[in-house]
Amino acid sequence: MSRRGRITLVGLVVAIVAVPVLAHNIGEGNAAFVQSLTGPALAAFTYLGAKHMVTGIDHILFLVGVVFYLHRLKDVVLYATLFTIGHSTTLLAGVLAEWSMNAYIVDAIIGLSVVYKAYENIGGFENWRWSPDPRAAVLVFGLCHGMGLATKLQELTLSADGLLVNLASFNVGVELGQVIALFAVVAILAWWRRQESFERSAYGLNFTLMVLGFILAEYQLAGYFLSTNGTA
Amino acid sequence: MKRRVFAAFGALVIASILTLAFVLPAEYDLDPLGTGAILGLLGLSGQTTDTSRAILAPMDSKPVRDVRTYSLPPFASVEFKYDLAEGAVMIYEWESTAEVVFDFHAEPTIGGEAATQSFSQGRTSGESGSYIAPFDGIHGWFWENRSLANVTVVVKTNGFMTGGTEYRDNDKIQVQIGE
């Protein structure tokens, strides 16, 4: 089997494993369980972190946009690392320093990050006098995604006892989830790029990403305005 | 470049339409385009933007106090249901001389038996609490004595019930409630 074929196969296996995780949404159950924990719970938080990432459609869509035109594994690793540095920083700082940001606003910005990346993919920033370095953009958006993760974690009242260990475990989980998701995405893209239809459908897919990113942002903004934060 | 800006704008327009048409009705019970009602998406979220559940709800009728006593021989069962309108409140207290199997459930007038919902069930010798009728219909208990001795069940209620029906041995008996 060719190298690409093997990557694709592994990617598909990983994706199939990820599907039950995606489908299994026990959000309220998780929250209740976490709230009952005192002290370190490595495995629980690692799993929660991975689950948050794999079921986080906004994070996944952004990653799809980021790796869409990255052919070389080296580049995928570079951008994934930049994203990781970004979201780890704000996740850790946000929870430890107890930054408070409205979750709806942060999630709306994350939605817009998807739009940004897809717009860049269709060449939206070509011929602009100044356009951000894609690597810097991924790092900065990583910071936003991390704030999103932090607000989700803050919603679960975490016991101070073992907070550092649990937080670190959660972050490790997020990275594991990211690896799983990236593997599946990169494998599917690698296979797809070999199809003749790719060039034509690339535009369509990025357009769809923009639509989805806007829907996400609007959905979060609606939540913001409908919640007491928006009307107070 | 202008084409791409136009594409981004087009994406925004499409996204807005989809959000207004499907996402807001499904997630927030908002239906600015009326599509939620047409497609039956409203209520998906389980949220009620219905603010008619008041903190204080004056009623047109006076509350009724009622007491029911049932003697259940071994393995006998009885069902008793009150008529309650949607939103009507009932405080209840029932006790039995020994453990019984019970099920508090309600059957809506619209929907009937198929739409029956059970709110509390188990095996115990009493329960007390409050109940706010989620719909117009009949609301009450099933008690079954699973022991080899006679058991007496006494239920006391105070609320806005408008009538009661006993279901025993395939008989349906309407009863007068109130003291």
- From first to last of the 179 residues of chain B, give the pLDDT tens digit: 688 889 999 999 999 999 998 888 888 878 888 887 777 777 666 555 455 567 888 888 999 999 999 999 999 999 999 999 988 999 999 999 999 999 999 998 887 788 888 999 999 999 999 999 988 899 999 999 999 999 999 999 999 999 999 998 888 888 888 87
The residue with tokens 């932090």 is A150
Q: Can you point out the beta strands (E) in chain B?
A: 64-72, 77-84, 89-108, 117-132, 137-144, 151-159, 163-168, 171-175
pLDDT at A10: 61
**Quick one: tokens of A31?**
């929250």
**Quick one: tokens of B32?**
């600015």
What is the value of ipTM here, to two decimals?
Answer: 0.75
A231 chain-B contacts, CB cut-off 8 A: none
Do residue B15 and residue A124 have CB atoms under 8 angstroms apart?
Answer: no
A118 to chain B: nearest residue by CA? B8
Q: How far is A204 from chain B (nearest CA, A)?
A: 11
**Quick one: tokens of A156?**
């679960």
Please tell me whether the overall predicted TM-score, pTM, comes out greater than 0.90 for this model.
no
Sign of CA dihedral A174, A178, A179, A181: positive
H helix or E strand, kind and range, residue A168:
helix A163-193
Q: Looking at the complex, does the CB of residue B8 fall below 8 Å from at least one CB of chain A?
A: yes
Q: Are A111 and A57 in contact (CB under 8 A)?
A: no
Do residue B15 and residue A128 have CB atoms under 8 angstroms apart?
Answer: no
Nearest to A177 by CA among A47, A29, A71: A47
Can you tell me whether residue A195 is helix, strand or coil? coil
